[in-house]
Amino acid sequence: MEIRAAVLEEFAQPLQVTTLDLAGPKAGEVLVRLHACGVCHTDMYSASGVDPSGYAPCVLGHEGAGVVEAVGDGVTSVAPGDHVVTLFSPQCGQCVNCRSGRTNICVAIREQQNQGYLPDGTARLSRDGEPIRHFMGCSTFAEATVVSEFSLAKVSKDAPLETAALFACGLSTGLGAAMYRAQVWEGSTAVVFGAGMVGLGAVAGARLQGAERIICVDLSEDRLELAKHHGATDGWVASDDIVDRILAETDGYGADFTFEATGLVGVMRQAVESARMGWGVCCVTGVAGKGETLDIVPRYLITGRTVMGASFGGVKGRDQVPELVDRYLAGDIDADAFISHRISLDDINKGFDLMHHQDGIRSVVTF
C-alpha cells in the first residue's frame, strides 16, 4: 500500500513528508493504522545527526497509537480492530531477559531493531524499490506502519488514541521509574529533577505509590505549576545549591527517592547527592550527551545509596502499558493535560520547533 510518512532524508535537515510503499505484514508482524503519535526528544536527537547510532533515510516516530488493520502468520496477541500502543521497548516474553522477570529489556529483536529493520532483517518501507529503514521498531510518523507483534501493547478501546500515544514513551517512562523501577513507598519523600513529560510522569507515579512529600525541581516556574497539578507538594526552582536545600529540609539526611529526568549529567550528580544516606535510591532516566560521564564520589555509595537507571522506566510494555492506561481511565493520571499541541503530519517540523523552544509538554501528530 501507499502511505504518507515523514522521512529523515538527511541529518540536521527538516523531515520530508512524502509517499512511500509499505509492504504487508510477514509472519509475526502487524499492520497498524496510526491515529496519533507524540513527538519525543529521541526523534529530534536522531534527526540532528548527533546520535552516533542514527541512520538515514528512515521514517522517525515511536510514540504511536492506532488500530490493527491486518496481522501476519502466527500472530495471536492482537487482531484486526484492536487498539494498540507502539513499544520501542518490546516484550517477547521468551528471551533470556524476559524469562528472568528481572528486567524489561527484551533482547529478542534488539539487534535488528537497532539497525533499522524488522526481526527478519528486512524493511517493509520502500521508495521506488529502494528499502527505507524503520526507526526503533516503530516508524510512527506515518499513516500506517508494520511492526513486530512484540512491539505492540493492546490497550482499552475506551482510551482516546491521542492520549494512549503518550504511554508509548515519555509518560510511561516517568510513571514506571517511580512505580516499577524504584518502587517508591508509601509515606516516603521523593525529589524529581526535571518537569518535562518524563519528570511529570515520575511525579504522578510517586503520588500513585503514596509518597507523602514530592519535591519537583525545574528551571521553569510554569512547569513547576504543572508538577503541582500532577501531585508535587513542592516546586523548587533549580539552583547550584539545590542539594543543600534538599538536605536541609530532610533532617540533613536526604530524600528516600530521587529521580533525574533532564539528561544533564550535572543534575544526575545532584540527584545522587540528595538521596538519603542509608537507603536512598537515585533513579536516572535522562539520556546524557554522547561521551558524557556521571561523576559520583564513592562515599555516597558506601554510605548506603543505590543508583539505578531505567529504560522505558522499567515498564514491561505488553503487560504493563495496558495497566497504566487503565489507571488513566480510572482517573488516577491526568494524561490529557500533557497534550499541549495537536499538529498534522505535514507540520511535523513544527513539532520539533515547539520542542526546541520548550513550548508545551507534548505535541501530538493526529492523522
Ligand X SMILES: NC(=O)c1ccc[n+]([C@@H]2O[C@H](COP(=O)([O-])OP(=O)(O)OC[C@H]3O[C@@H](n4cnc5c(N)ncnc54)[C@H](O)[C@@H]3O)[C@@H](O)[C@H]2O)c1
Q: Tell me the catalytic residues.
A: 40-42, 62-63, 92, 95, 98, 106, 110, 169, 362
Nearer to ligand X, 84 or 166 (CB): 166
Is residue 108 close enough to count as binding Zn ion by CB under 5 A? yes
- Pairing mode of beta strands 58-59, 189-193: unpaired
Is residue 173 close enough to count as binding ligand X by CB under 6 A? yes
Using CB under 5 A as the binding rule, the residues of this chain from 21 to 40 that contact Zn ion are 40
Could you say which of 104, 189, 262, 363 contacts ligand X (CB under 6 A)? 262
Nearer to ligand X, 54 or 170 (CB): 170
Nearer to Zn ion, 46 or 189 (CB): 46
Coil/strand/helix, residue 164 = helix
Is residue 355 close enough to count as binding Zn ion by CB under 5 A? no
Select the binding partner of residue 95 from Zn ion, ligand X, none (C-beta < 5 to 8 A, by kind): Zn ion
For residue 255, the 8-state DSSP code is B
How near is the Cβ of 97 to Zn ion at its closest, in Å?
Answer: 6
- The backbone torsions φ and ψ at residue 27, rounded to the nearest 5 degrees and listed phi first, read -55, 135
- The backbone torsions φ and ψ at residue 362, rounded to the nearest 5 degrees and listed phi first, read -140, 130
Distance CA 11, CA 349 (A): 13
- The backbone torsions φ and ψ at residue 214, rounded to the nearest 5 degrees and listed phi first, read -125, 110
Nearer to Zn ion, 110 or 213 (CB): 110
**360: alpha, beta or left, given left = phi > 0 and alpha = psi -120 to 50?**
left
Is the Cβ–Cβ distance between 229 and 337 less than 8 Å?
yes
Coil/strand/helix, residue 182 = coil
**312: alpha, beta or left, given left = phi > 0 and alpha = psi -120 to 50?**
left
- The backbone torsions φ and ψ at residue 274, rounded to the nearest 5 degrees and listed phi first, read -100, 5
* Neighbouring residues of 23: CB distance < 8 A, sequence distance ≥ 6: 124, 125, 126, 146
Is residue 106 close enough to count as binding Zn ion by CB under 5 A? yes
Nearer to ligand X, 277 or 288 (CB): 288
Could you say which of 277, 287, 337, 343 contacts ligand X (CB under 6 A)? 287
C-alpha cell at 72: 501476519
- The stretch among 64-72, 100-108, 129-137, 281-289 that binds ligand X (CB under 6 A) is 281-289
Distance CA 48, CA 37 (A): 19
Is residue 137 close enough to count as binding ligand X by CB under 6 A? no
Number of residues that bind Zn ion (CB under 5 A): 8
Nearer to ligand X, 25 or 174 (CB): 174
Is residue 168 close enough to count as binding ligand X by CB under 6 A? no
Using CB under 6 A as the binding rule, the residues of this chain from 232 to 261 that contact ligand X are 238, 261
Is residue 351 close enough to count as binding ligand X by CB under 6 A? no
Select the binding partner of residue 322 from Zn ion, ligand X, none (C-beta < 5 to 8 A, by kind): none
The side-by-side arrangement of strands in the sheet containing 16-22 is 58-59, 2-8, 16-22, 125-127, 130-132
**348: alpha, beta or left, given left = phi > 0 and alpha = psi -120 to 50?**
alpha
Select the binding partner of residue 173 from Zn ion, ligand X, none (C-beta < 5 to 8 A, by kind): ligand X
Is the Cβ–Cβ distance between 21 and 1 less than 8 Å?
yes
Could you say which of 25, 61, 66, 194 contacts ligand X (CB under 6 A)? 194
Nearer to ligand X, 39 or 132 (CB): 39
Using CB under 6 A as the binding rule, the residues of this chain from 196 to 225 that contact ligand X are 196-199, 217-220, 223
Number of residues that bind ligand X (CB under 6 A): 29
- Encoded one letter per residue, x for contact with ligand X by CB under 6 A and - for no contact, window 304-323 reads ------xxx-----------
Is the Cβ–Cβ distance between 305 and 270 less than 8 Å?
no
Could you say which of 46, 91, 189, 285 contacts ligand X (CB under 6 A)? 285
For residue 357, the 8-state DSSP code is T
Select the binding partner of residue 108 from Zn ion, ligand X, none (C-beta < 5 to 8 A, by kind): Zn ion
Positions touching Zn ion (CB under 5 A) are: 40, 42, 92, 95, 98, 106, 108, 169
